Structure 1
Amino acid sequence: MLEENQSITIKGTKDGLTLFINDRGSFEDVMKELGDKLSEYNPKKDEPVVPMTVKLGDRYINERQKQQLRELIGGKNRFTIDFFDSNVIHRDEALTWKENSDVKVINRMVRSGQVLENVGDLLLIGDVNPGGRVVTTGNVFIMGNLFGIAHAGSNGDREAIIAASYMKPSQLRIADYISRAPDYETEGVYMECGLIDEGQDKIVIDRLQVLSHKRKGISGFERRILNG
């Protein structure tokens, strides 16, 4: 995309503009070249604002540098940055991503009055007794009996699911949805899951096998749980 000795290239797309920034030159050189290019552009005040995606390749820029780009590209120009696309993330962001994407395996029983909280997906090998509660930002997998409360997607993830070997919960929660009425049979169900059905606008109980169809982003770990 970038010609030799060029720090930046701007391409038009059907969604707006894409700004490609060479990841080898200095940020100061990039800003100077971009400023020179933008100085040739004199938009009229009534022109529509054009969205721009900034592709950084293997370059990492901090929040101060992002703000500098926003001010230079916005300014008197009719552009706005919609998205920064980089192959590189900060160490803290990587650690957060790892924490959120890892499956935490815990072998214990959650008794009445106890609360087990987790970040990311949780695999609990044990029972959740009546009065016990499990809360996680990701999915909940229980290899045991779920009699208490399970809350998946506690940070607002409506794609999260709750699965259990035997499901007869006192309450299911996914994101901001709460299952107050038992959609499951009175005697409970084996190897099923709870998930949000957008069409019905509620939590429903279904067979584990439906996850590969209803949750296309299901991970390899979850596939092993389903398929053995």
Structure 2
Amino acid sequence: MKKMPNVTIKGTKDGLTLHLDDTCSYAELIQELDEKLSESSRALEDRQLISVRVQVGNRYLSDSQQEELKNLIRQKKNLVVDRITTNVMTKEEAEKLKAENEIVSVARMIRSGQILEVPGDLLLIGDVNPGGTVIAGGNIFIMGALKGIAHAGHKGNKDAVIAASLMKPSQLRISDCFNRAPDGTNAETETREMECAYIDDQDQIVVDRLQVLMHLRPNLTRLKGGC
């Protein structure tokens, strides 16, 4: 019976994809990968830089093994590693992913000088007073007045949003964008309608009615709305 290859190389419009078997030993995998890449690189000597994506299936790779794979690929002419994907993650990585996708509910007032930070989405039932700060890796929803600083998507998520029952912040931040409160605001003109803030197509933070979120961020929640 003919032995199935441990390494399969497929060309795509974006470059090369390496499918690495997840049942053989790591040593066998590295040896066969080296041999096949050497053959392929000779055929691609006249080509410009080629992006390589590596798929390792249900195999867990340590940081040192990932670096070894990357170095092996980089040694071949014209090959550049785009990314390595695996179906496996550590317990710590799974816990971190879970935390980043959870909604943390907090019922309290954030006073001046206080900072509340969560890894995922934040649902705050209470006010953020001037001088107070709330920070979230995901979205921020405030059932109360936002009069301090709110920073959503602080790890780089530009799709994050900020919503509040009363939107009067001293500063809004989403990812690396920020927006200070407009000058000359008058308390008598404050709206009592819930509002939201998001990054628009021009990379600017925009404050709008809460209702626009269902159109701008249809994947914001798993719950389905009405017609």
TM-score by length of 2: 0.85
Distance (Å, rounded) in 1 between the aligned partners of 2:44 and 2:143 = 63
- Partner letter of residue 179 of structure 1? N
Change beyond 3 A, Cα 1:218–1:4: farther
Give the equivalent residue in structure 1 for 2:204.
Answer: 202
Taking the TM superposition and a 5 Å limit, the aligned residue runs for 1:59-74 are 59-74=59-74
Residue 131 of structure 1, CA deviation: 2.9
Question: For each residue in 1:41-75, what CA deviation from the matched residue of structure 2 results, as whole angstroms up to 9, or x when unmatched?
Answer: 42575531211111111111112112222222221
Shift of 1:216: 4.3
Corresponding residue for residue 125 of structure 1:
125
Query: Which residue, 207, 213, 216 being the options, matches 2:215?
Result: 213
Residue 32 (str. 1) matches residue 35 (str. 2): no
| Corresponding residue number in structure 1 for 2:167 | 167
Please identify, of 69-78 and 176-185, the stretch whose mean Cα deviation from structure 2 is larger. Answer: 176-185
| Preserved CA contact (<8 Å) 2:168 2:181 | no
Please, which runs of 5 or more residues in structure 1 have no aligned partner? none
Contact 1:128-1:148 at 8 Å conserved across structures = yes
Q: CA deviation at 1:7?
A: 0.9
Number of equivalenced pairs: 221
The answer as to 2:18 corresponding to 1:16 is no
Matched, 1:150 2:146: no
Tell me if structure 2 keeps the 8 A contact 1:168–1:189: no
| Contact in 2 for aligned 1:123/1:140 (Cα 8 Å) | yes
The corresponding residue for 2:196 is: 193
Aligned to 1:136: 136
Q: Do 2:170 and 2:181's aligned partners in 1 also have CA atoms closer than 8 Å?
A: no
For 1:104 and 1:9, how far apart are their aligned partners in 2? 44
CA RMSD of aligned residues (A): 2.5
Partners of 1:168 and 1:188 within 8 A in 2: no
Q: 1:30: Cα distance to partner?
A: 0.8
Q: Provide the rounded CA distance (Å) in 2 between the counterparts of 1:37 and 1:73.
A: 11
Partner of 2:115: 115
Shift of 1:196: 1.7
Q: Structure 1 residue 103 and structure 2 residue 103: aligned?
A: yes
Structure 2 unaligned segments of length 5 or more: list them: none
Query: TM-score normalised to the size of structure 1?
Result: 0.85
Q: Distance in 1 between matches of 2:35 and 2:176?
A: 49
Distance 1:44 1:26, change over 3 A: closer
Q: What is the SS of the residue equivalent to 2:64?
A: helix
2: CA distance, partners of 1:162 / 1:105: 15
2: CA distance, partners of 1:177 / 1:69 = 36
Q: Structure 1 residues 73, 198: CA separation in 2 closer, same or farther (over 3 Å shift)?
A: same
Q: Which residue of 2 aligns with 1:90?
A: 90
Q: Please name the residue that 1:6 is paired with.
A: 5
CA shift digits 1:189-217 (9 cap, x unpaired): 42210112233x43211122222322244
What per-residue deviation string (whole Å, max 9, x for no partner) do you get for residues 118-169 of structure 1?
2221111112223322122221101122222222122333222110122222
Percentage identity across paired residues of the two chains: 48
1:206 is paired with a residue whose SS is strand
Matches within 5 A, 1:177-188: 177-182=177-182, 186-188=189-191
Structure 2 residue matching 1:129: 3-state secondary structure: coil
> Are residues 44 and 197 of structure 1, via their aligned partners in 2, closer, same or farther at CA, if it must alter by over 3 Å?
closer
